Amino acid sequence: MTDQADHLRNLVSQGKRRILRTIAISSGKGGVGKTSITTNLGIMLAQMRKKVVIVDADMGLANIDVLLRLQTKYNLQHIIDGEKRIDEVVIDGPGGIKIIPSASGAQLLTQLTSEQRERFISEFSIFEGNVDYLLIDTAAGISPNVTEFILAAGEVLVVTTPDPTAITDAYALIKIITRYSDNMKIGLFVNMASDAAEAQEVENNLKLVTERFLHTRIEGMGYMLRDRQVSDAVKKQVSFVLHNPSCPASSCIKALASRLSNFCSHDNSKTLVKFAEKITESIK
């Protein structure tokens, strides 16, 4: 265990500490491809020489391990319960990413005891200064557990599709976020678009209503075309950016990774420990 912990602490070259960006990736509606986008985005960022940790924060239907055909013995609940250390739970994912698995039906953060909260904070310190991106794959919807993860992050990427119900639910999620935070950086990503024009229409409409009724500006972060390669990769339980790096969907994810790199957070001081502290503060 010590050797693995030492390895994790040395993810970055000696003498250089990394500034972490915590990005919650969420959606108002399930089935919009959020988890696939999260994992493939993480892999693309890793290909850009970024150190990436993905937290599967879907306490109800954890599925990153299934999506990527990963064998997991332990998960986030084992850390919360004090049964395992974080370096025993984190696993190597494809393309150089690290993943902290969750578990279906895991204990909600709102139910943590004071001792569990302290453990949650201290365990995350192993990554501090060694990670560029912490991507938090939340559950879909607007439950308290989802909003806690979002509000603890420095930024949120809301994923929707052109489907009217997905757009409506995306707006509802943005409305909840703005109710509790007036400075959250909100990005929008349109998945399963038929073409660029359709994606732009969705983006324009959501921007219009959020500015008019919520007095909030959201940032368009691009789109992903409907691509058969994505569904084929899901069936094969592989990453589509690795399986077919030249397909249209991979090009869209590459563009998203580039936009994220240029769309800098104003709060560059946020660390994994501060992220954990902010979560636990919100649920005391």
d(CA 101, CA 137): 10
Q: 111 lies in a domain?
A: yes
> Is the residue at 98 inside a domain?
yes
- How many Å apart are CA 89 and CA 75, to the nearest integer? 6
| Tokens matching residue 122 | 């201290």
**Domain presence at residue 15:** no
Q: How far apart are CA 195 and CA 230, in angstroms?
A: 16
Cα–Cα distance, 30 to 24 (Å, whole number): 15
Assess if residue 16 is contained within a domain. Answer: no
What's the predicted TM-score (pTM) here? 0.86
Token digits of residue 147: 């909003």
Residue 170 is predicted with a pLDDT of 97
Distances (CA, A) of 173 to 27, 50, 260: 7, 29, 21
Sheet with strand 155-160: strands edge to edge: 91-92, 98-100, 52-57, 133-138, 21-26, 155-160, 185-193, 219-225
Q: How many domains does the chain have?
A: 1
Q: What is the pLDDT of residue 276?
A: 63
* pLDDT given at position 6: 53
Predicted pLDDT of residue 106: 58
Task: Determine, yes or no, domain membership for 237.
Answer: yes
234 CB-contact burial (10 Å; exposed 0-12 / middle 13-18 / buried 19+): middle
SS3 category, 281: helix
What does the pLDDT read at residue 282? Answer: 53
Tokens of 274: 């501060």
Q: Could you list the residue range(s) of the whole structural domain that residue 260 is in?
A: 2-9+21-282
What distance in Å separates the CA atoms of residue 214 and residue 48, rounded to the nearest whole number? 35
pLDDT at 59: 72
We report the CATH number of the domain holding residue 118 as 3.40.50.300
Answer yes or no: is 14 within a domain.
no
Structural domain includes residue 170: yes
Q: Are 123 and 250 in contact (CB under 8 A)?
A: no
- Cα 185 to Cα 263: distance, rounded to the nearest angstrom: 10
Give, to the nearest 10 degrees, the angle between helix 272-282 and helix 144-152: 140
DSSP output for 82-107 = TSS-HHHH-EE-GGG-EEE---TTPP
Alpha helices in the chain (DSSP H): 2-9, 34-47, 64-67, 76-80, 86-89, 114-124, 144-152, 164-180, 196-213, 228-236, 240-243, 248-262, 272-282
Query: Does the residue 218 lie in any domain?
Result: yes
Q: For the chain (length 284 residues), average pLDDT per consecutive 10?
A: 49 55 93 95 97 86 83 86 90 95 65 73 74 90 82 90 97 94 92 97 98 96 96 94 97 96 58 58 52
